[in-house]
Structure 1
Amino acid sequence: MKKLILIFLLVPICIWSQSSFEKGEKLYRAKKYEEARVLFEAFLKTKPSDVKTNEYLGEIAAHDKSWVKAAEYFKKTKELKPTEADYFYKYGGALAMRAMEINKLKAFGMVEDMKQAFEKAISLNPKHIPARWALIELYLQLPGILGGSESKAISYSNELAQLSPVDGYLSKGRIDEYFKRYASAEKNYIKANEIGKSKITFQKLYNLYLNKLKDPKKAREFKQKFEA
Structure 2
Amino acid sequence: MEKIEHFKIGDIVTLKSHPLFSAKPKKISEFSTQVPPLMLIKEVLFENEEKKIIFSDEIENAQIADLIKYNCVFFNANKSEFQEKTIYHTLLRSYLDLKYYREIGKDEKKKIELDEQLIPEVLKYEIVENYNYGEVIQFKTKKLEHRKSYAGSSEKITTVSNQTPDFVLSGVKNEAQVDLFYPKGKPKRILPKQLYKVMWFNHFQQKFSEYFLPKEFFVKNLEI
Is the TM-score greater than 0.5? no
Higher relative contact order (CA 8 A, sep 6+): 2
Look at both structures and tell me which one has the larger radius of gyration over its CA atoms: 1
Compare the two structures and name the one with the higher strand fraction. Answer: 2
